[in-house]
A = this chain, B = another copy of it.
Amino acid sequence: MDLNNKIEKIGIVFAMKGEALATIHHFNLERINGNYPVELYGNAENKIVVSLNGTCSFTGVDNVGTQAATLNTYVLINEVNPDIVINAGTAGGFAHSGAKIGDVYIGTNRVVYHDRRIPLPKFDEYGIGNYGLINTDYLAKQIGIKQGIISTGNSLDYVDRDLQLMKMSNASLKDMEAASVAWVCQLLNKAFIPIKSVTDMVDGGIPTEVEFKANFNLATKNLNLKLIQLIDFIYQKTMEEIVSPEK
């Protein structure tokens, strides 16, 4: 993207409808087309579009995880062609890196995987991945949120090997979508920002699913507050103004 182009159209990828409702309501978004199972919600001229992974017709739950997020991001970009893609959602945080329940983080540096172990030359590097995002130093200060490296995997819980790989990547957050959204953005040359709120402490000793349920509402409330601030801040600005306005 040209640094001088204005951000006129923002696409926001969510996995779960429950995570997205406050943002959909705030911007008065209405359901628009979207190839099944992806659900798109947009405002006038689709300047702001929320894109959901959709629901599983067999179990009725939201299609969480990287396969559905890959499809979601691809459909969003092909149908709406946003100037920038945000991936918003909930995540686990690491107490040792200072995360607390309810904290909202913006991604920094890179997005990686922790559950793609492929011990063959070059495939090992491909498996972890190294997906780009915009420089968020300025945005983090403006919005007043923490920054951290996000590591993605398809499980809500983790096994020891996942944890080792997250530590090797210096991850502050563990989620289930960001790396796949970042990958599709990279393929299709879209600027990318992940924003995640903390439902559970990965290294806190309590089973993820227990904390996830207990803290989902708080984390989602905080996520939407900061996401709306972020959208309002970047809308109609140029990439140069949001990445490094002093330049």
Contacts and interface: CB of A to CB of B under 8 A. Distances in A.
A49 B123 CA distance: 26
B130 A61 contact: no
Contacts of A125: 58-59
A74 B71 CA distance: 8
A209 interface: yes
Contacts of A208: 119
A157 B123 CA distance: 12
Contacts of A122: 59-61
B116 A155 contact: yes
Contacts of A118: 64-65, 155-157
A34 interface: no
A212 interface: yes
Contact of A126 (B36, B59, B187): B59
A56 interface: yes
Given A67-B66, A187-B36, A123 B61 contact: yes
Nearest to A74: B71
A117 B157 contact: yes
Interface string A22-60: 000000000000001100000000000000000010111
B187 A115 contact: no
A126 B64 CA distance: 9
A192 to B, nearest CB: 15
A65 B127 contact: yes
Most buried by B among A67, A154, A187, A212: A67
Given A59-B123, A115-B154, 15 more contacts: A56-B126, A58-B126, A58-B130, A64-B118, A65-B116, A67-B180, A70-B70, A71-B71, A71-B74, A116-B155, A119-B207, A120-B156, A123-B156, A127-B155, A154-B154
